[in-house]
């Protein structure tokens, strides 16, 4: 491994003290970065330097650092999560950058995601969409045996394709309209595909899409930027599926 | 003091049913008068909050992330066990019970483990009803895979993201209750104290992580579902925010900490690449179903490209040492075996700290597509981190801290020794003994949350009058003031070392001297060095910013301060336990590399009572009895 080769990078980072602060870009230098650093480990190093200098470190959301919790959320050089195929920003590695590069780092920007501080935004609107109907109304206990209703593998697989969404909100940040159609479509589709979710399908799609609008998410005008931004490769076919479910519900 | 786990007696297969019947009930109309706090919304807390809300209790739930969907349960990859016996390969509740007791090296309570095995089947049904897309076959039946420490196929999975799908199931049930108003969710909140009034748990003190404000919440019962503590090793497979803080604060308020030295080191994690590294990534144990573990036989081959090392020059050491379980030997055994090979100078990769996990044979037998179908996301993850293609060359693996079997002591009802304080999931100590088998933590979290606490909490609440203490009680004010004072102290030190430096240091001491192998000497070293490091921390840590704002350094400083205290207790427990069992391996007590238990002197749960800052804690014992599984040497040969 070539740990001895290190990079120096220029970072231009969005800093904003709190929700009401106007915010601005600040420039920092990241030194002694190797190709094995993850992007967030690179930021950790910059933050250590800032702390030694008595300055406020850059705050950003993160937790699992393995691409599954959906907590990390940064726009890197204009692309949510940095634009590497099927990769969250916490899984992005510095081998994708070159010595001397300048990197722009910004928070998710969308009407429904107010900035809390620096790179941290408030995504509680996504929880509200799920609360509006992203479930089957089963009770704890008193359900049928897991094999009572057969679900052939292709059906289970398709539901799983939709269920992989990590709720990061990159689709919203990537969409010119700030729409949450991919996120919502994924959950609506997962439950509409499975027999367990079909009974409530009509009510679910109406309630979830209404909530989406109430929370300030924009409309879908078929740009497909959401799919390009999605670190889990959620397919826009689930938006189409949700639209069909919506039409069905209106005529039901 | 001799502790009583209050386990029901009689024929083991009737214990839970009988106990459920004996528990008092809360009248349905009265349930809404009771407030219940649930701290943590992972599998255990999410399932508990949703189920208790549905029963009619008034629930307040808390998590430190921005949404309950992000708890670290989300990261579990491999699967969840249940005794369904769908493959007809000889499984049963009794066998799952037996495997778990044996896997835990005879250091868990029989009754608790029986209950876990018994409700395991309900969990699968529950998750299917929620819309969890478990793996299925073409006819539509649920599929199973094998996991370490079992000779039957009882593990259910959702691709390589089982924890994610189970958590999203619990999260959806929780979201439904939030919408219905039975659960109030408080996210971006960190519990920093337990409020105890007249010996009874009455509420919590939390910091609002966005505004920095201290907040108090009162309730008739508090459930801690706050996960595990292996971040005490600094580098682990846990998320960055996982900490011992909630448990530790409760411990300092009187809750006993049981078996802290039982920590699990997972055999297959991606080796560390450099010292800037912030966490380690696990590769699911399910990989050992199809991957073969080996190291070069000859030291001089270690630097070679693995594909150039001849078959005869490879040592498939797990298959050699444990012929009947082979690559599926339990975790503690597989981890120690890897360390042994590396200590012997036959490790591969940076610093010789790695062993190969090789898929070439399976790819030949099953085709690359089948392997991709089974583990594609894991191979992808491996490549993102290492820049190496696992289909083309064997993966490199090394053990890493992963899970804590120890936790707050609870009785059979999941209640700690503090009345009104319940502990669920990884945060308690109850069912895994000294070693946890793969795919049984998810099972435990959901068992505790969906199927145990809804019954046992009623048994407690039926005996207390609701709403006796409110947040205007002086004790709530005092707790807020204490937490605030500690934070002001941290902010005022303005020393020369960052929080991360201290965490790296204490983690390094723990990994070096209290990791996969421990000795009296190494533990005594830690018992000297940790208090010194703690003292330095309180003189020389540097935390910038203020307490009245979003301040991640301050959050980390608090967690590190707690780890600096807890790590000492962990070492003390490891030092007192003069035997090797499961994940606790004392080099002095071994038989040619295998753990040597001492059932005459150590067949008990060791639960520690806090006695004040820098005072020696007091050990209480709960003797373990084995009426159903014969105490035997645990062999996987
Ligand atoms: C990488 C990885 C893979 C795994 N794979 C498997 C597997 O395949 N099968 C298996 O059975 N097990 C597996 N495990 C183990 C299993 O995932 C965990 O043991 C289990 O999910 C823990 O669930 P929990 O609900 O107890 O805790 P967690 O899911 O960790 O939840 C803890 C909750 O507590 C909250 N919290 C913590 N502290 C505080 C505080 N002070 N204030 C407020 N909130 C707080 C958090 O916000 C979170 O909501 C794996 C673990 C890891 C790390
Ligand atoms: S659809 Fe993709 S981008 Fe959108 S929230 Fe889900 S995982 Fe993130
Ligand atoms: S930190 Fe969890 S997905 Fe990035």
Instruction: Please write the tens of the pLDDT for every residue from B119-128.
Output: 999 999 999 9
This complex has an ipTM of: 0.98
Which of ligand 2's atoms lies nearest the C-alpha of A170?
3
Per-residue pLDDT of chain A (252 residues; tens, 9 = 90+): 444 689 999 999 999 999 999 999 999 999 999 999 999 999 999 999 999 999 999 999 999 999 999 999 999 999 999 999 999 999 999 999 999 999 999 999 999 999 999 999 999 999 999 999 999 999 999 899 999 999 999 999 999 999 999 999 999 999 999 999 999 999 999 999 999 999 999 999 999 999 999 999 999 999 999 999 999 999 999 999 999 999 999 987
Which of ligand 1's atoms lies nearest the C-alpha of A66?
1
Which residue out of A180, A185, A186, A224 has the highest number of ligand 2 atoms within 8 Å of its CB and is therefore the one to mutate? A186
SS3 content of chain B, % helix, strand, coil (to 5): 45, 15, 40
The 3-state DSSP class for residue B589 equals coil
Sequence ranges of the domains in chain A: 7-116, 123-136+150-250
A87 lines ligand 3 (CB under 6 A): no
Cα dihedral B189→B191→B197→B199 (10° resolution): 150
Residues 6+ apart with CB under 8 A from B107: B259, B262, B433, B434, B581, B582, B603, B605, B624
Residues 6+ apart with CB under 8 A from A78: A104
Identity of the residue in A66, A69, A156 whose CB atom sits nearest the CB atom of B381: A66
Give chain A's length: 252
Give A91: exposed, middle or buried? Use CB within 10 Å, 0-12, 13-18, 19+: buried
What are the φ/ψ torsions at residue B207 (nearest 5 degrees)?
Answer: -105, 130
Which chain A residue lies closest to B172 (C-alpha atoms)? A135
Q: Are A97 and A82 in contact (CB under 8 A)?
A: no
* Number of inter-chain CB pairs under 8 A, A vs B: 219
A236 lines ligand 2 (CB under 6 A): no
| Alpha helix (H) residue ranges in A54-200 | 124-131, 153-163, 170-174, 181-193
Residue B238 CA to ligand 1 center (angstroms) comes to 8
CATH topology of domain A7-116: Ubiquitin-like (UB roll) (3.10.20)
pLDDT (0 to 100) of residue B148? 75
The 3-state DSSP class for residue B597 equals coil
Q: Any chain A CB within 8 A of the CB of B141? A: yes
Residue A90 CA to ligand 3 center (angstroms) comes to 5
**What is the bridge-based pairing of β-strands B590-591 and B594-595?**
antiparallel
Both tokens of residue B208?
A: 């609002």
CA atoms within 13 A on the CB side of B172: 28
B425 lines ligand 1 (CB under 6 A): yes
pLDDT (0 to 100) of residue A86? 95
Interface of B with A in 283-342 (CB under 8 A): none
Task: Give the distance from residue A222's alpha carbon to the nearest chain B alpha carbon, in angstroms.
Answer: 28
**What CATH code would you report for A123-136+150-250?**
1.10.1060.10
Catalytic residues of B: 331
How many CB atoms lie under 10 A from the CB of residue B547? 17
**Which has the closest alpha carbon to B126: B83, B177, B91, B169?**
B169
Ligand (nearest to CA of A226)? 2
SS3 content of chain A, % helix, strand, coil (to 5): 40, 15, 45
Ligand (nearest to CA of A88)? 3
Q: Are B171 and B50 in contact (CB under 8 A)?
A: no
pLDDT (0 to 100) of residue A1? 41
CB contact under 8 A, A144 and B544: no
CA atoms within 13 A on the CB side of A191: 28
Identity of the residue in B142, B175, B273 whose CB atom sits nearest the CB atom of A147: B142
CB contact under 8 A, A36 and B273: yes
Which chain B residue lies closest to A45 (C-alpha atoms)? B276
A62 lines ligand 3 (CB under 6 A): yes
Identity of the residue in B141, B175, B274 whose CB atom sits nearest the CB atom of A127: B175
Q: Which three-class secondary structure string do you get for B525-570?
A: HHHHHHHHHHHHHHHHECCCCCCCCCCHHHHHHHHHHHHHHHHHHH
**What is the bridge-based pairing of β-strands B183-186 and B58-62?**
parallel
Residue A66 CA to ligand 3 center (angstroms) comes to 6
Both tokens of residue A199?
A: 């009974």
pTM of model > 0.90 = yes
Say which DSSP state B463 is in: T
C-alpha span between B598 and B581 (Å, rounded) = 8
C-alpha span between B40 and B61 (Å, rounded) = 7
* Residue ranges of chain B with per-residue pLDDT less than 70: none
pLDDT (0 to 100) of residue A4? 60
Which of ligand 2's atoms lies nearest the C-alpha of A226?
3
Interface of A with B in 173-192 (CB under 8 A): 190-191
Give B383: exposed, middle or buried? Use CB within 10 Å, 0-12, 13-18, 19+: middle
Which of ligand 1's atoms lies nearest the C-alpha of B424?
26
A23 lines ligand 2 (CB under 6 A): no
Both tokens of residue A109?
A: 């920007």
C-alpha span between A63 and A73 (Å, rounded) = 11
pLDDT (0 to 100) of residue B149? 75
Looking at beta carbons, which residues of chain B come within 8 Å of A151?
136, 140
Ligand (nearest to CA of A63)? 3
pLDDT (0 to 100) of residue B7? 95
C-alpha span between B595 and A87 (Å, rounded) = 41
Dmax over CA atoms of chain B, in Å, equals 74
C-alpha span between B564 and A222 (Å, rounded) = 53
Q: Which residue has the tokens 């020794």?
A: B417
Residue A234 CA to ligand 2 center (angstroms) comes to 7
The 3-state DSSP class for residue A214 equals helix
Q: What is the DSSP string of B287-327?
A: GGGT-EEEEESSGGGTTS-GGGS-GGGEE-HHHHH-TTTGG
pLDDT (0 to 100) of residue B50? 98
CB contact under 8 A, B278 and A40: yes
CB contact under 8 A, A71 and B136: no
* Structural domains of chain B ordered from first start: 265-400 (3.90.700.10), 474-623 (1.20.58.100)
Q: Any chain B CB within 8 A of the CB of A5? A: no
**Which has the closest alpha carbon to B409: B264, B261, B259?**
B259
Q: What is the mean pLDDT of chain B?
A: 96
**Which has the closest alpha carbon to B562: B202, B259, B289, B194?**
B194
């Amino acid at each position: 491994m070539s740990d001895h080769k290190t990079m120096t990078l220029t970072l231009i980072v969005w800093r904003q003290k709190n929700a009401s602060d106007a915010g601005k870009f600040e420039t920092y230098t990241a030194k002694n970065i190797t190709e094995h650093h993850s992007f967030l480990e690179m930021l950790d190093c910059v933050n250590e330097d800032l702390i030694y200098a008595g300055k406020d470190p850059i705050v950003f959301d993160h937790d699992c650092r393995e691409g599954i919790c959906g907590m990390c959320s940064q726009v890197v050089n204009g692309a949510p999560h940095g634009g590497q195929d099927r990769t969250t920003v916490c899984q992005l590695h510095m081998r994708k950058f070159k010595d001397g590069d300048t990197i722009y780092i910004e928070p998710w920007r969308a009407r429904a995601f107010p900035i809390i501080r620096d790179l941290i935004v408030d995504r509680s609107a996504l929880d509200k969409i799920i609360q509006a109907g992203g479930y089957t109304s089963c009770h704890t206990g008193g359900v049928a045996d897991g094999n009572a209703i057969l679900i052939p593998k292709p059906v289970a697989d398709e539901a799983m394709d939709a269920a992989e969404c990590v709720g990061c909100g990159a689709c919203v940040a990537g969409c010119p309209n700030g729409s949450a159609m991919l996120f919502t479509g994924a959950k609506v589709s997962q439950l509409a595909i499975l027999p367990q979710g079909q009974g409530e399908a009509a009510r679910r799609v109406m309630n979830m899409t209404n909530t989406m609008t109430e929370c300030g998410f924009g409309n879908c005008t078929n740009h497909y930027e959401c799919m390009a931004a999605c670190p889990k490769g959620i397919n826009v076919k689930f938006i189409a599926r949700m639209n069909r479910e919506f039409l069905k519900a209106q005529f039901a | 003091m001799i502790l009583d786990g209050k386990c029901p007696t009689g024929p083991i297969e009737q214990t839970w049913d009988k106990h459920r019947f004996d528990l008092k009930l809360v009248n349905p109309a009265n349930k809404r008068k009771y407030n219940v706090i649930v701290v943590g919304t992972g599998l255990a807390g999410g399932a508990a909050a949703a189920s208790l809300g549905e029963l009619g209790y008034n629930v307040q739930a808390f998590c430190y992330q921005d949404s309950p969907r992000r708890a670290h349960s989300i990261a579990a990859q491999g699967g969840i066990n249940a005794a369904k016996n769908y493959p007809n390969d000889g499984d049963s509740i009794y066998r799952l019970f037996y495997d778990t007791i044996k896997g835990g090296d005879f250091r868990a309570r029989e009754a608790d483990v029986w209950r876990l095995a018994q409700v395991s089947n309900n969990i699968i049904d529950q998750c299917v009803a929620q819309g969890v897309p478990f793996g299925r076959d073409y006819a539509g039946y649920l599929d199973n895979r094998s996991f370490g420490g079992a000779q039957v196929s009882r593990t259910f999975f959702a691709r390589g993201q089982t924890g994610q799908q189970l958590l999203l199931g619990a999260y959806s049930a929780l979201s439904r209750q939030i919408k219905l108003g039975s659960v109030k969710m408080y996210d971006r909140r960190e519990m920093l104290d337990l409020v105890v009034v007249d010996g009874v748990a009455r509420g919590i003190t939390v910091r609002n992580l966005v505004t920095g404000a201290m907040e108090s919440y009162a309730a008739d019962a508090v459930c801690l579902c706050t996960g595990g503590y292996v971040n005490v090793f600094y580098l682990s497979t846990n998320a960055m925010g996982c900490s011992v803080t909630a448990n530790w604060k409760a411990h300092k308020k009187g809750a006993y900490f049981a078996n802290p030295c039982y920590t699990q080191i997972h055999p297959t994690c991606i080796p560390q690449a450099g010292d800037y590294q912030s966490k380690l990534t696990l590769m699911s144990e399910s990989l050992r179903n199809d991957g073969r573990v080996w190291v070069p036989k000859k030291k001089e081959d270690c630097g070679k490209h693995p594909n150039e090392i001849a078959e005869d020059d490879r040592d498939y050491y797990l298959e050699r040492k444990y012929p009947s379980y082979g690559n599926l030997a339990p975790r503690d055994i597989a981890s120690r075996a890897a360390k042994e090979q590396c200590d012997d100078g036959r490790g591969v990769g940076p610093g010789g700290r790695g062993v190969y996990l090789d898929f070439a044979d399976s790819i030949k037998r099953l085709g690359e597509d089948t392997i991709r179908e089974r583990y594609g996301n894991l191979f992808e993850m491996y490549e993102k981190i290492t820049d190496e293609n696992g289909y083309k060359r064997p993966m490199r693996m090394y053990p890493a801290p992963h899970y804590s079997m120890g936790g707050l002591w609870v009785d059979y009802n999941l209640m700690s020794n503090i009345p009104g304080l319940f502990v669920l999931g990884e945060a308690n100590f109850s069912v895994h003994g000294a070693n946890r088998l793969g795919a049984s933590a998810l099972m435990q979290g959901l068992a505790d949350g969906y199927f145990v606490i809804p019954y046992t909490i009623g048994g407690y609440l039926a005996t207390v009058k609701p709403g006796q203490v409110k947040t205007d009680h002086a004790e709530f004010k005092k707790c807020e003031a204490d937490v605030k004072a500690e934070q002001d102290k941290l902010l005022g030190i303005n020393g020369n070392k960052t929080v991360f430096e201290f965490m790296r240091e204490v983690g390094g001491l723990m990994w070096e001297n209290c990791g996969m192998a421990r000795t009296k000497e190494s533990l005594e070293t830690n018992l000297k060095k940790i208090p010194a490091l703690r003292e330095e921390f309180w003189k020389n840590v540097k935390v910038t910013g203020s307490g009245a704002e979003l301040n991640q350094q301050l959050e980390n400083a608090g967690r590190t301060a707690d780890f600096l205290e807890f790590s000492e207790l962990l070492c003390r427990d490891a030092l007192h336990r003069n035997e090797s069992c499961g994940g606790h391996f004392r080099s002095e007590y071994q038989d040619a590399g295998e753990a040597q238990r001492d059932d005459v002197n150590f067949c008990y749960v060791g639960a520690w009572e806090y006695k004040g800052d820098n005072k020696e804690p007091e050990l209480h014992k709960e003797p373990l009895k084995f009426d159903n599984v014969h105490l035997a040497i645990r062999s996987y040969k």
